[in-house]
Amino acid sequence: MRAADLVQPYPTVTLTTPAIEAARILADADLPGLIVVDNQGRPFAVLPGTQVLRLAVPSYCQDDPALTHLVDEAAADVFVRELGDRTVRELLPPQPHELPVVPPQATALEMAALMARTRSPLVAVVDGALLGAVTLHALLDRVLPL
Amino acid sequence: MRAADLVQPYPTVTLTTPAIEAARILADADLPGLIVVDNQGRPFAVLPGTQVLRLAVPSYCQDDPALTHLVDEAAADVFVRELGDRTVRELLPPQPHELPVVPPQATALEMAALMARTRSPLVAVVDGALLGAVTLHALLDRVLPL
């Protein structure tokens, strides 16, 4: 079993996709994360779902649960408005990191090791162009004994 | 909107659940992670899906893509056998960390801030006993503007 056998089409966003639209794609398609592609359609980053929330949470609430607790329920319900017209570019972590990207020949073990190491619930499959992705669930479905 | 309004029943595992069974629960119910409960049924840890893979990946492959690449396809297909009779206890990271656990009164913003900070795609909701969980997708579905 190789990445080529498991790859499925996967939605992508670009650096200029509005953050709110990225959050919507994530939620509507029930995705574990988003593949961010560059101008050539190649993976630039894989953004875990939790990090899409990061920009929506006001900076004074990021690290201080006590301050977050002071925000009343009505204001807390509409916190995603904080995303405003920000883009996916601003959601990305500042440091470069190992990308969860594999060639079509990658084995199940190679994909699993990469998911574990990068803590990414999906790997992008690239053969020059982006072919799609293999999710953790798709991989587990195939490798778990019946 | 409070955690009490969004909480849903959520499968749990214990420290002595076989790791292979935990992986199966994760895959079958398409869960973003697992709630590990202690003997009193209270959350002891929340294990992201990717970390369930960690123990299945042989230690010599954990950090070395080149070595992983040397494993042939047939052997790579059955890597989950490495889990053997290991338990969830062995899947947990060694260091204690902030738990993604909230009371029923937690607001949408409090849950979002906690998910972003702990990088957990779910929060457990506890009121003495475990009531269930709120997932990132359930939260996004409710807070994103229509």
Report chain B residues whose CB lies below 8 A from the CB of A145: 20, 80-81
Query: What's the N-to-C CA distance of chain A in angstroms?
Result: 16
pLDDT tops 70 at residue A64:
yes
For B34, phi then psi, to 5°, come to: -120, 140
What is the mean pLDDT of the segment spanning B23-33? 89
pLDDT in tens, A20-32: 889 889 888 889 9
pLDDT in tens, A85-137: 888 888 787 666 788 999 999 999 999 999 988 888 999 999 989 999 999 99
DSSP summary character for residue A26: H
| Domains: count for chain A | 1
Closest CA of chain A from B30, distance in Å: 7
Residues in chain A: 146
Write out the residue range of the structural domain in which residue A46 sits.
3-143
Q: Do A115 and B62 touch (CB under 8 A)?
A: no
Q: What residues contact B116, with CB distance under 8 A and at least 6 apart?
A: A50, A51, A53, A54, A57, A62
Residue for token digits 């490798």? A143
Q: With a cut of 0.90, is the ipTM above it? A: no
- Show which of residues 58-87 on chain B sit within 8 Å of chain A, judged by CB atoms: 61-63, 65, 68-69, 71-73, 75-81
To the nearest whole number, what is the mean pLDDT of chain A? Answer: 87
Closest CA of chain A from B127, distance in Å: 17
CATH code, domain with A76: 3.10.580.10
Residue for token digits 């969830």? B88
pTM for this one? 0.85
Report chain A residues whose CB lies below 8 A from the CB of B113: 57, 61-62, 65, 68
To the nearest whole number, what is the mean pLDDT of chain B? Answer: 87
